[in-house]
Amino acid sequence: MRKVTEALLSSAYLCLALTVALLVWRGGGGAGAGIAALAGVLGLAFALHGMIGRGLERACLGRELRGLREANQILADQIDIMHERLAGFAESVQEDADRRSEELTTEVRVLEDLVQRMGDSLDARMAQTPQLPPAYARHHHQHTALLETVREALSDNRVDLYLQPVVSLPQRRTVFYESFSRLRDASGRVMMPAEYLSVAEPEGLMPAIDNLLLFRCVQIVRRLAEKDRKVGIFCNVALGSLADESFFPQFLEFLAENRDLSGALIFELGQSAFDRRGSTEARNMGKLADLGFRFSLDKVSDLDLNFPDLARADVKFVKVSAEVLLSQLLELDGRLALRSLKDLNAADLADLTRRYGVELIAEKVETERQVVDVLELNIAYGQGNLFGEPKAVREAVLAEADPPADFIRSSLRRRVVR
């Protein structure tokens, strides 16, 4: 475009020069004067054109320089904004690190009290050497050896967390997990509950095991939340922990600092434990409910439940094994009813519990036939090996949830020295 413009201007200059030369020649100046006039006009025109062109180029260059300065200023402003954002991000990371450090400090403080009291109890029991008849000496020795194995598993932090999915029906989509504890002996062999419960329950160690698992459940919930996994975890809580007035305030303080997890952490009690609650346990359950935490009943054997009482205690889930549910069915006057609730149609049980804000979960589902029968009872959730067996959480994840093993061992040894 610029070349065309220059060509047109050159043509205009030439025409102007020819016109002036012609006028000079016709005016009597002769051919030499005309040629001189032609050359002079052309030289003047091109000189003027050069001056104008250079002026335009300088103006264009000035505009480009101003544009570059503006772009440079915009880039500098963006760099300043980026520096401010990076500084804010670094401050946020530091605050998050400080918060996590404070949370871990709180957990370790609670665990210290728990482990020290456990050490007191175990030391006292292990120090006792009762005089037993020879017939019972061997049994007592085995009991003591197993108790020592459990003690070492706890002191060396060999308590594993297992999770089993709880699924929606009929979609079979995982919406909850239930947590289980497993102990390992010094050789790494996994001890099943049936093995260590025989000494853990009589010796009062179940609260210690359950509470150690609680902290790991909290960490797992945090990890799931970071991945935007909207699932909850059922975590067993011992009735003795709810009644312990020296431990429960620290337990409550820890949960108050983590009340954002109240929608994802569900505390579970057995039906018999719930029925044995005293005023202290009920009051402390109420304090947890005030923080937004919910409760669940498992090991339900009697379906004749007091639903208003469950609602007042913030029990939102009731787990009944598929075998118990289906064994309760009977045909009465041409309809399907339940032995414990003969006035109620079996298919209406789930609707009845929902009116009190309670969802039924069919647990220990093992066969597809049981799934069909459970669906006919309008139950929305299922749990059992058919949907997934309990699986151990990876050790790398648990390591983030554990207090230092040296700390736990030193706490136990400190109690022994005393």
% of the chain at pLDDT higher than 70: 66
pLDDT of residue 418 exceeding 50, the answer is no
349-371 pLDDT per residue, tens: 999 999 999 999 999 999 999 99
Q: How far apart are CA 25 and CA 373, in angstroms?
A: 121
Arithmetic mean of pLDDT, 76-104: 67
Q: How far apart are CA 361 and CA 322, in angstroms?
A: 9
Q: What is the pLDDT of residue 125?
A: 53
> Three-state DSSP class for 320?
strand
207-255 pLDDT per residue, tens: 677 667 777 888 888 888 777 677 899 998 888 788 877 778 888 888 8
Q: Give, in words, the CATH class of 162-402.
A: alpha beta
> Three-state DSSP class for 382?
strand
> Three-state DSSP class for 190?
strand
Q: What is the pLDDT of residue 296?
A: 96
Q: How far apart are CA 32 and CA 34, in angstroms?
A: 5
Provide the pLDDT confidence category of residue 102 given band limits of 50, 70 and 90: low
pLDDT of residue 132 exceeding 70, the answer is no
Provide the pLDDT confidence category of residue 183 given band limits of 50, 70 and 90: confident
Most confident of 26-30, 316-320, 324-328: 316-320
∠ CA 336-342-345 to the nearest 5 degrees?
Answer: 40
Q: Which of 48-57, 347-356, 407-416 has the lowest mean pLDDT?
A: 407-416
% of the chain at pLDDT higher than 90: 29
Length of the chain measured in residues: 418
pLDDT of residue 315 exceeding 90, the answer is yes
pTM exceeding the 0.95 threshold for the entire prediction: no
Whole-number average pLDDT of the chain: 76
Q: What is the pLDDT of residue 415?
A: 34
DSSP 8-state symbol, 233: E
Q: What is the pLDDT of residue 78?
A: 78
Residue bearing the bigger pLDDT, 391 or 413:
391
Q: How far apart are CA 242 and CA 288, in angstroms?
A: 10
Q: What is the pLDDT of residue 267?
A: 94
Arithmetic mean of pLDDT, 166-180: 93
Strand-pair partners of 216: none
Most confident of 70-84, 199-213, 284-298, 387-401: 284-298
Q: What is the pLDDT of residue 408?
A: 40
Arithmetic mean of pLDDT, 155-176: 89
Where are the chain's structural domains? 162-402
- Cα–Cα distances (Å) from 390 to 178, 300, 383, in that order, read 8, 20, 10
Residue bearing the bigger pLDDT, 318 or 108:
318
Arithmetic mean of pLDDT, 281-288: 94
Residue pair 379/166 in contact by the 8 Å Cβ criterion: no
pLDDT of residue 116 exceeding 60, the answer is no
Q: What is the pLDDT of residue 377?
A: 92
Q: What is the pLDDT of residue 187?
A: 85
Q: What is the pLDDT of residue 176?
A: 94
Arithmetic mean of pLDDT, 189-211: 75
pLDDT of residue 404 exceeding 70, the answer is no
**Cβ-based burial of 404 (10 A; exposed 0-12, middle 13-18, buried ≥19):** exposed
Q: What is the pLDDT of residue 70?
A: 77
